[in-house]
């Protein structure tokens, strides 16, 4: 089981990084999503794996519980990463709509030297 | 001795807080008129002053009034205030002169100037200054210190339309701000030596501090802060440029208060820092040089305010030098001169302001003969100037005598004559520029060509300086009676409560060396003035460095250097940043791997069953397919959905039901979001990197993937090296948090503060998306969007009947599921996050099935408000703990039994979870709603659900037509 989770993390990380290194916005967004999965599963797995032992207390008998702390962290991470994905999607979208261009790299032409205030 | 009672506690906090509180009023009241704004500023200052004055009895008894409040004890940062003689004197100057300045400024500022803003800045500054002089904690003091730099920046640059004002403000901020940074370092060193950041503790550890090897670095860093603030050579150049400020600001900041902050700090630290050779040679020498240079330059300045600015530099140097001597009697003289200088210099600045105001110029060359035209101003200005020159029987004479007397007893590197000689020379120039102020402005023949017709100003303008001049005379005549006790108390505070040396404040001390020196200085000053024309020619012919040009050159060089570095590092090629970041991280990981040790395997791996293996195969195949087919964007989106689904199932399988629920609902909204965005983006990714590049990227990715996979594999097969805090959470979840779902209890209780931060971040993210949408829609893009042709052929029936009916029927059920998930959250998998997502999906279904316009017409609440209420409810729940004397966000719970219901439990955490729920719901909806607005096109408004839209755009039809035409 551990080998399955670890290799899945590895595959998702590799694919995520490969896509992040592309030069258009959409693959980069996909790559970030994949990397998010990988990181979330990674964090979750730091609590070690357990089957049939959810961290819901049983009042009647002593049962083993899995580690709840990484779960709590990952839960918020999932929601926050949605927020972040939404923001970069919106940034990518407005950049594309404004310039009709979905390259992530700025060319020299794009960077305008802002003139300073009075020296 | 410490007087601690309720009243003194409160009043010290109030004195420091009042100006800050009061700063709000002028800005608000300016709508009610300039008088209202001015009076509110005056009133708060007056109240603070009264608060200070009620401490006179205890301060005069030599007591130290303290008020303590532990703010962040872990950092040693306590909001401790103390009021001793020294603090009292400075607070008196700040508030007293502040009151006069507020009166003066009311009549000085013209109709066009935003007066509310002025008083707000002024009170902010006043509060920061009072904070400095009353702080009993050096960290607190540093905060106030930086606040004075910032607020003075606002005040100096008050006339924003003048380039001189802006430049002066920037220069002052750069110099005093960077000095302040140096001082922070020095103060931290000092606090580390002593082991406490409380000033009262530090002041009792003279031997410890002076014996420390870090004494010299600390001393130099702190002095850098003091010297920059008090405009000591070679940092004096900012002060004259700061004179671009309105005159009330110059009078307040640059004569009475801010520039004295450096002196205050040197006096405050005098008991522990003074008395060493390093202190003497650094401080006394700097003071002496500053005194001389300031006096010489002042004589050749034609701008009245510049003249006064350099004279201030010179007088600040004088006080610094006296403090630098390190003898007790010199410290007494320093204190006495601070009082005297504050009175006559503020009066002189105000006089200069009046002259400027009434004649329209401050250029000495264009003035003269104002004696009969402005008799009141003439009287005030002359008395103040003669005091500055050091003539009896005015107060300036007394302290200058004491200063000269002290120099006679000082040897500098075995030379008995160097210090008194240079001091005499400075006194001589000082007398000369003071006489010049009188002679070239008021005396001489009347002129015809004043820019305006000069006459005495209204009483509001001359009242404040007149009051100060009365003080100048009275202190001169009856010094022992009026300021004697004050000087004694302040001086004993400066020298650390030790016995005061013998001194007497009187006009006649007999025929002493100081008297001869005074006579020489006065006569020499008159002689110098008579040669002024000739001297000026020589002065103008001499080459001298122009501080402003040097400063600007330095700033320009720094700007260019930082721009070059930024441009080189940050050239806009984002894929380069990514590759640097990833390679660096992989490198770090390899370094850690090759240098670290790895423990033995301690855990038995779980057996892999058939279903997880199938899931794994799906996930790996989908992931690899995304890599392979990512150019087909829609396909890769479908595939990433597969990955998300399997990750959710894995969470569920591996005992994390909460995560599974969250992941699957987030998955749904993310997919909708990406589909929406794909609506606007190109559907295909073109090939634009070379094969070599792709192989390189693939190699990096594979290495990173192997690294992370191996790391987590190794981690999962070993037990924790240290006991974790999870045990605590499991043990206390029910007892302390009242819930059995430990994950939820951690979110809303144990780590509630994190969650609180997270919902705020989520809300901000949604607001950013909203703002970006607004920004895009306000440009020409809007036109493009309105006329955009869709990528794919549209369905004629965009709101299919079946889907509309099904989603509407499902809506109440979906909401109920949301409520169910929400309420069970504390004890069973669920909670605010998941419920928020589920309800959001229920809404989104309506958007999708019945159309955006239809949904928006039925929306009662703005999503911004939902986010706001969510955060506020969460915060209010947290604050509620304070009322029960518990730390922020401590939750409480109990059990309720309402027949015939079963006994159930309530917890304040559920309120907090309500906040989370609302924030998540609002954020998800606002994000998707904003994105949907981009898709709105005319014609949609008339569209009703279940209608066929015959006007739809269909690219395929057009293609067909074009082909036909071809």
pLDDT in tens, B477-497: 888 888 888 888 888 888 877
Q: Say what angle helices B908-934 and B657-678 make with each other, to 10 degrees.
A: 20
B910 compared with B613, residue with greater pLDDT: B613
Residues of A in contact with B715 (CB under 8 A): 45-46
Inter-chain CB proximity B772 and A91 less than 8 Å: yes
Q: Which residues pair with B81 in a beta bridge?
A: B67, B135
> Residue A83 is nearest to which of B715, B724, B766, comparing CB atoms?
B766
> Residue B765 is nearest to which of A2, A87, A92, comparing CB atoms?
A87
Is B661 within the bounds of a domain? no
The total domain count for chain B is: 3
Do B919 and B942 lie in one domain? The reply is: yes
Do B166 and B267 lie in one domain? The reply is: yes
Question: B293: which residues sit within 8 A by CB, 6+ positions away?
Answer: B233, B236, B313, B314, B317
pLDDT > 50? residue B803: yes
- Per-residue confidence band for B659, with pLDDT thresholds at 50, 70 and 90: very high
Can you read off the two tokens belonging to residue B930? 């904003």
Do B76 and B152 lie in one domain? The reply is: yes
DSSP state, B618? Answer: H
Handedness of CA B631, B632, B633, B635 (dihedral sign): negative
Do B369 and B264 lie in one domain? The reply is: no
Q: What mean pLDDT do residues B579-594 have?
A: 91
B481 compared with B87, residue with greater pLDDT: B87
Q: What mean pLDDT do residues A29-48 have?
A: 94
The total domain count for chain A is: 1
Q: How far is B834 from chain A (nearest CA, A)?
A: 9
Residues A97 and B295: their CA atoms lie apart, in Å, by 64
> Residue A17 is nearest to which of B701, B716, B766, comparing CB atoms?
B701
> Residue A111 is nearest to which of B572, B655, B717, comparing CB atoms?
B572
Question: B172: which residues sit within 8 A by CB, 6+ positions away?
Answer: B149, B152, B153, B156, B238, B239, B241, B242
Inter-chain CB proximity B710 and A48 less than 8 Å: no
> Residue B775 is nearest to which of A6, A85, A94, comparing CB atoms?
A94
**What is the number of CB-based contacts under 8 A between chain A and chain B?**
322
- Per-residue confidence band for B538, with pLDDT thresholds at 50, 70 and 90: confident
Q: What is the pLDDT of residue B241?
A: 86
Inter-chain CB proximity B709 and A11 less than 8 Å: yes
Q: Say what angle helices B6-22 and B115-134 make with each other, to 10 degrees.
A: 150
Q: How far is B699 from chain A (nearest CA, A)?
A: 9
| Contact criterion met (CB below 8 Å) for B302 and B362 | no
- Integer-rounded Cα radius of gyration of chain A: 21
Torsion of CA B942, B946, B952, B958, to 10 degrees: -170
Least confident of B405-419, B459-473, B587-601, B872-886: B872-886
Do B241 and B98 lie in one domain? The reply is: yes
Sole residue written with tokens 């990096």: B700
pLDDT > 70? residue B804: yes
Residues of B in contact with A1 (CB under 8 A): 605-608, 612
Residues B119 and B125: their CA atoms lie apart, in Å, by 10
- Per-residue confidence band for A117, with pLDDT thresholds at 50, 70 and 90: very low
| Contact criterion met (CB below 8 Å) for B406 and B322 | yes
Domain span at residue A80?
Answer: 2-51+66-99
Instruction: Give pLDDT tens digits for B369-384.
Output: 888 888 888 999 999 9
Q: How far is A1 from chain B (nearest CA, A)?
A: 5
Q: What is the pLDDT of residue B3?
A: 41
Phi, psi of A89 (to 5 degrees): -60, -45
Q: What mean pLDDT do residues B153-159 have?
A: 89
Q: How far is B733 from chain A (nearest CA, A)?
A: 9
pLDDT > 80? residue B517: yes
- Per-residue confidence band for B618, with pLDDT thresholds at 50, 70 and 90: very high
Question: How many residues are listed for chain A in this entry?
Answer: 119
Q: What is the pLDDT of residue B218?
A: 92
- Residue in A closest to B774 by C-alpha: A94
Q: What mean pLDDT do residues A53-72 have?
A: 85
Instruction: Give pLDDT tens digits for B660-710.
Output: 999 999 999 999 999 988 888 888 888 877 888 889 999 999 999 999 999
Torsion of CA B303, B304, B305, B307, to 10 degrees: 80
Mean pLDDT across chain B, nearest whole number? 85
Q: What mean pLDDT do residues B319-335 have?
A: 89
Is A36 within the bounds of a domain? yes
Phi, psi of B511 (to 5 degrees): -85, 90
Do B754 and B830 lie in one domain? The reply is: yes
Do B245 and B120 lie in one domain? The reply is: yes
Residues of A in contact with B785 (CB under 8 A): 97
Instruction: Give pLDDT tens digits for B850-905.
Output: 888 888 888 888 899 999 999 999 888 877 776 666 666 666 666 666 676 666 66
Q: How far is A112 from chain B (nearest CA, A)?
A: 11
Can you read off the two tokens belonging to residue B697? 């990227």
Residues B215 and B274: their CA atoms lie apart, in Å, by 11
- Residue in B closest to A105 by C-alpha: B573
Can you read off the two tokens belonging to residue B358? 């009434």
- Per-residue confidence band for B5, with pLDDT thresholds at 50, 70 and 90: very low
Residues of B in contact with A119 (CB under 8 A): 552, 556
Is A76 within the bounds of a domain? yes
Is A41 within the bounds of a domain? yes
Q: What mean pLDDT do residues B59-85 have?
A: 80
pLDDT > 90? residue B16: no
% of chain B surpassing 70 pLDDT: 93
Can you read off the two tokens belonging to residue B333? 């003289």
DSSP β-ladder status, B2-3 and B64-67: parallel
- Of B228, B248, B273, the residue that ends a domain is B273
Inter-chain CB proximity A4 and B608 less than 8 Å: yes
Pick among B607, B621, B701, B712 to test the A interface (most A CBs inside 10 A): B712
- Residue in B closest to A16 by C-alpha: B701
Sole residue written with tokens 């928020």: B836
Question: B204: which residues sit within 8 A by CB, 6+ positions away?
Answer: none
Residues of A in contact with B733 (CB under 8 A): 57, 68
Q: What is the pLDDT of residue A38?
A: 95
pLDDT > 70? residue B187: yes
Domain span at residue B256?
Answer: 1-273
Do B254 and B307 lie in one domain? The reply is: no
């Amino acid at each position: 089981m551990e080998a399955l989770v670890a290799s899945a993390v590895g595959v998702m990380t590799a694919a995520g990084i490969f896509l992040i290194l592309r030069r258009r916005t959409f693959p980069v967004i996909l790559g970030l999503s994949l990397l998010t999965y990988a990181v979330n599963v990674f964090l979750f797995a730091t609590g070690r794996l357990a089957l049939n032992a959810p961290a819901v207390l049983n009042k009647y008998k002593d049962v083993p519980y899995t580690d709840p702390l990484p779960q709590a962290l990952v839960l918020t991470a999932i929601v926050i990463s949605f927020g972040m994905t939404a923001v970069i999607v919106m940034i990518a979208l407005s950049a594309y709509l404004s310039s009709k261009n979905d390259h992530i790299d700025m060319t020299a032409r794009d960077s305008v030297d802002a003139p300073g205030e009075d020296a | 001795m410490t007087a601690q009672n309720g009243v003194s506690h409160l009043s010290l906090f109030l004195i420091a807080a009042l100006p800050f509180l009061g700063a709000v009023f002028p800005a608000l009241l300016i709508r009610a008129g300039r008088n209202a704004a001015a009076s509110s500023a005056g009133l708060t200052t007056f109240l603070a002053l009264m608060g200070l004055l009620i401490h006179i009895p205890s301060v005069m008894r030599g007591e130290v009034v303290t008020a303590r409040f532990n703010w962040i004890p872990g950092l040693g940062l306590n909001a401790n205030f103390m009021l001793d003689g020294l603090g009292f004197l400075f607070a008196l100057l700040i508030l007293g002169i502040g009151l006069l300045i507020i009166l003066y400024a009311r009549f000085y500022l013209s109709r066009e100037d935003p007066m509310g803003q002025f008083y707000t800045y002024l009170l902010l500054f006043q509060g920061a200054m009072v904070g400095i002089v009353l702080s009993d904690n050096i960290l607190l003091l540093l905060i106030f210190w930086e606040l004075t730099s910032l607020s003075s920046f606002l005040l100096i640059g008050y006339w924003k339309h003048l380039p001189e004002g802006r430049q002066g403000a920037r220069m002052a901020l750069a110099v005093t701000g960077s000095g302040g940074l140096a001082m922070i370092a020095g103060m931290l060193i000092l606090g580390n030596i002593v082991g406490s950041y409380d000033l009262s503790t530090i002041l009792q550890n003279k031997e410890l501090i002076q014996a420390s090897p870090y004494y010299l670095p600390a001393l130099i860093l702190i002095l850098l802060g003091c010297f920059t603030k008090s405009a000591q050579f070679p940092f004096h150049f900012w002060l004259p440029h700061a004179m671009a400020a309105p005159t009330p600001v110059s009078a307040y900041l640059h004569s009475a208060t801010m520039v004295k902050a450096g002196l205050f700090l040197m006096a405050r630290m005098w008991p522990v820092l003074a008395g060493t050779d390093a202190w003497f040679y650094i401080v006394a020498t700097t003071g002496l040089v500053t005194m001389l240079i300031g006096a010489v330059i002042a004589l050749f300045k034609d701008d009245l305010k510049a003249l006064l600015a350099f004279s201030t530099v010179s007088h600040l140097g004088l006080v610094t030098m006296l403090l630098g001597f390190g003898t007790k009697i010199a410290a007494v003289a320093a204190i006495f001169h601070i009082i005297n200088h504050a009175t006559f210099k503020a009066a002189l600045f105000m006089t200069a302001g009046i002259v400027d105001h009434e004649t329209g110029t401050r250029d000495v060359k264009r003035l003269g003969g104002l004696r009969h035209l402005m008799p009141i101003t003439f009287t005030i200005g002359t008395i103040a100037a003669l005091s500055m020159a050091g003539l009896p029987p005015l107060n300036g004479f007394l302290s200058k005598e004491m200063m000269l007397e002290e120099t006679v007893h000082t040897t500098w590197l075995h030379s008995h004559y160097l210090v008194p000689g240079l001091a005499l020379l400075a006194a001589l120039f000082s007398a000369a520029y003071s006489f010049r102020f009188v002679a070239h402005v008021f005396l001489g023949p009347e002129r015809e060509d004043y820019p305006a017709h000069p006459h005495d100003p209204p009483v509001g303008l001359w009242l404040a300086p007149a009051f100060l001049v009365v003080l100048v005379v009275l202190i001169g005549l009856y010094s022992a009676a009026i300021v004697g006790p004050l000087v004694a108390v302040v001086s004993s505070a400066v020298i650390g409560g030790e016995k005061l040396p013998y001194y007497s404040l009187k006009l006649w001390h007999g025929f002493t060396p100081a008297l001869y020196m005074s006579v020489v200085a006065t006569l020499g000053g008159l002689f110098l003035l008579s040669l002024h024309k000739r001297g000026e020619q020589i002065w103008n012919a001499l080459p001298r460095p122009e501080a402003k040009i040097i400063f600007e050159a330095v700033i320009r060089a720094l700007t260019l250097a930082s721009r070059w570095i930024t441009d080189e590092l940050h050239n806009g090629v984002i894929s380069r940043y990514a590759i640097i970041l990833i390679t660096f991280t992989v490198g770090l990981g390899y370094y850690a791997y090759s240098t670290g040790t790895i423990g033995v395997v301690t855990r038995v791996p779980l057996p892999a069953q058939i279903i997880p293996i199938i899931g794994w195969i799906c996930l790996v195949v989908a992931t690899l397919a995304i890599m392979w087919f990512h150019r087909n964007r829609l396909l890769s989106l479908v595939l990433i959905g597969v990955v998300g689904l399997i990750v959710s199932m894995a969470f569920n399988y591996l005992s994390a039901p909460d995560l599974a629920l969250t992941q699957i609902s987030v998955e749904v909204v993310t997919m909708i979001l990406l589909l929406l965005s794909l609506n606007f983006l190109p559907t295909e990714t073109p090939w634009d990197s070379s094969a070599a590049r792709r192989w390189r990227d693939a190699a990096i990715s594979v290495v990173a993937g192997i690294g992370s996979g191996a790391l987590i594999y190794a981690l999962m097969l070993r037990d924790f090296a240290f006991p974790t805090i999870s045990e605590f959470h499991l043990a206390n979840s029910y007892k302390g948090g009242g819930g059995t779902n430990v994950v939820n209890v951690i979110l809303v209780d144990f780590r509630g503060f994190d969650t609180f931060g997270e919902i705020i971040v989520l809300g901000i993210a949604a607001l950013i998306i909203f703002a970006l949408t607004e920004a895009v829609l306000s440009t020409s893009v809007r036109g493009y969007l309105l006329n955009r042709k869709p990528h794919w052929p549209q369905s004629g029936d965009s709101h299919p009947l079946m889907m509309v009916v099904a989603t509407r029927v499902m809506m109440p059920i979906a909401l109920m599921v949301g409520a169910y998930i929400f309420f069970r959250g504390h004890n069973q998998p669920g909670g605010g996050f998941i419920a928020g997502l589920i309800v959001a999906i229920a809404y989104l279904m309506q958007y999708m099935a019945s159309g955006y316009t239809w949904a928006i017409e039925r929306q009662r609440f703005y999503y911004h408000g939902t986010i706001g209420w969510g955060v506020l409810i969460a915060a209010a729940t947290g604050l509620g703990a304070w009322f029960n004397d518990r730390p922020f966000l401590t939750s409480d719970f109990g059990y309720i039994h309402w027949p015939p219901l079963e006994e159930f439990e309530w917890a304040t955490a559920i309120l907090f979870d309500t906040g989370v729920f609302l924030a998540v719901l609002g954020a998800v909806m606002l994000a998707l709603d904003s994105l949907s607005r981009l898709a709105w096109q005319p014609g949609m408004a008339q569209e009703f659900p279940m209608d066929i839209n015959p006007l739809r755009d269909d690219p395929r039809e057009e293609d067909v037509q074009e082909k036909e035409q071809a």
